[in-house]
Amino acid sequence: MEILKGNAVVGQSGGPTAAINATLSGVIRGALRAKKDGHIGTLYGMRNGIEGFLREDFVDLTERFEGGRELDILEQTPAAALGSCRKKMRSPADDPETYSHIFEILKKYDIRYFFYIGGNDSMDTVSKLSMYAKEHDYEIRVVGVPKTIDNDLMATDHTPGFGSAAKYVATTVKEIMRDVSVYTLNAVTIVEVMGRDAGWLTASAALPVISGGRAPDLIYLPERTFDLDKFIESIKRALSEHPDVLVVISEGIRFADGTYAGASKSTVDAFGHVQLSGAGKALEWIVKERIGCKVRSIELNLPQRAAGHLLSRTDIEESVGVGKGAVNVALRGRTGVMMTIDRLESDGYCSSVGCADISSIANAVRGVPDEYITASADGITDAGIAYLAPLIEGEISVVYEKGMPKHIVI
């Protein structure tokens, strides 16, 4: 097969993760190799995803990272170094101007390889662009590379970025558990973890149990209906056993009627404005009223997706791997695919990089399966822990500068 020659472009889209630049680095590593082999000319980076592409806001990444310099620093820099956007593309039928504009730019820069690193919306963009190219006979390889701390994409065993976020959650929960255990007074601590529709990241709070720690007393995922009375009873029972009760909840837990727990304790200010507080704070107030003991809520917030100082080596290696792999499968002629990580049957943990037809992936969400959630709907099973544990394994020796992790600016 003759290899398609031309330039390439890469973009990042959607919410930040600590590993999204490791994948960018993988694409750059792949492109530098392909340039050496004479297959790819320039790898352009689009700033702020497809928005920057439409403005022709490009940076020459083959030049910026010539010889692979500083790619190790790029791999430890959290949050899209090229900038990001949140844009759900309309269909070509609804928005023909945007598509013809995109393809004019592709022709102008002789771009034959299009790599898009992102979550569900980004995979939808990849799907639409690859189909449009086929229909309009423009030869190009469009490849999606997944990233999301939510771990909710189909077709892949897990998503790049999830392992590092899970390591941060597991480590932080283990540390919080130490903190709250120093006193002898009854106290309930509620930790709120990201993940509106999928509870994977929340589930990783169960991991301290395999590392000399204890599991949180209660873990609530959005995959199960949240029952307030049962919750209060469970806390009372836990308090009767030990004073330091730790609860971990997903931001997205909902009652039987579909309303978010975070909306269950709406308050109004002096002007009558309704103020929303988040699930953790709402439950803190409810526990305080109904049980009366000391209660604290902790929202892990942005740090859980941006903690470049605490990376899973497994995650970073795989994140680089899917980036490199994207260039490889594109050179071999694949288009309209998303890169995947496949878990291999083996004694220890082992994975390989693959790809899957994107039309089967985009716009579907993969939640935590039943066999990973305890029957009481407030904990994680051994099978769930066995799935999660290898993904946080290994550390990266982060480069520091003046006491803080070094980051790169592109």
| Positions in 98-157 near its own copies (CB under 8 A) | none
Stretch that binds its own copies, among 325-333, 348-356, 360-368, 401-409 (CB under 8 A): 401-409
Question: 398 with 311: CB under 8 angstroms?
Answer: yes
Nearer to its own copies, 275 or 346 (CB): 275
Q: Is the CB of residue 125 less than 8 Å from the CB of residue 142?
A: no
Site for its own copies in 373-392 (CB under 8 A): 389, 392
Dump the DSSP string for 231-258.
HHHHHHHHHHH-SEEEEEEETT-B-TTS
Q: Which of residues 303-322 bind its own copies (CB under 8 A)?
A: 303, 305-310, 312
CB burial class (10 A; 0-12, 13-18, 19+) of residue 230?
A: middle
- Interface segment toward its own copies; rule CB under 8 A; list 227-235, 318-326, 354-362, 398-406: 398-406
Task: Pick the closer one to its own copies by CB: 215 or 358.
Answer: 215
Residue 180 as a binder of its own copies (CB under 8 A): the answer is yes
Residue 12 or 130 having the CB closest to its own copies: 12
211 touches its own copies (CB under 8 A): yes
In the complex, the smallest distance separating the C-beta of residue 32 from its own copies, rounded to whole angstroms, is 24
Binding positions for its own copies, 285-304, rule CB under 8 A: 285, 289, 296, 298-303
**What single-letter amino acid sits at 145?**
V
Query: Which are the catalytic amino acids?
Result: 150
Smallest separation, CB 224 to its own copies (Å): 26
3-state secondary structure of 180: helix
Compare residues 207 and 337 and give the one whose CB is closer to its own copies. 207
**Contact pick of 268, 344, 347, 348 for its own copies (by CB under 8 A):** 268
- Alpha carbon distance 181, 307 (integer Å): 25
227 counts as binding its own copies under rule CB under 8 A: no
Give me 205's structure tokens. Answer: 């709070």
Candidate residues 67, 212, 258, 348; the one interacting with its own copies per rule CB under 8 A:
212
DSSP secondary structure of 88-111: -PPPTTT-HHHHHHHHHHHHHTTE
Closest to 372 (Cα-Cα) out of 221, 166, 151, 234: 221
123's CB contacts (< 8 A; 6+ apart) are 116, 144, 146, 153, 338, 358, 361, 362, 363
Residues 6+ apart with CB under 8 A from 144: 116, 117, 118, 122, 123, 125, 126, 127, 337, 338, 339, 358
Exactly one of 141, 167, 254, 324 binds its own copies (CB under 8 A); that residue is 167
Measured CA to CA, the distance from residue 117 to residue 45 in angstroms comes to 11
Write phi, then psi, for 267 (nearest 5 degrees): -125, 165
Does position 265 interact with its own copies (CB under 8 A)? The reply is yes
Does 409 engage in binding with its own copies (CB under 8 A)? yes
Shorter beta-carbon distance to its own copies: residue 77 or 156: 77
Residues in 46-85 that interact with its own copies by CB under 8 A: 48, 51, 77-80, 83-85
Which CB sits closer to its own copies, 298 or 330? Answer: 298
To the nearest whole angstrom, how small is the minimum distance from the Cβ of residue 245 to its own copies?
15
Considering only the stretches 206-214, 322-330, 361-369, 374-382, report the one whose residues sit in contact with its own copies under the rule CB under 8 A: 206-214
Interface with its own copies, residue 266, by CB under 8 A: yes
Adjacency order of strands within the sheet including 111-118: 58-60, 40-46, 6-12, 111-118, 141-146, 337-343, 351-357
CB of 304 to its own copies, least distance (A): 10
Quick count: other Cβ atoms within 10 Å of Cβ 394? 15
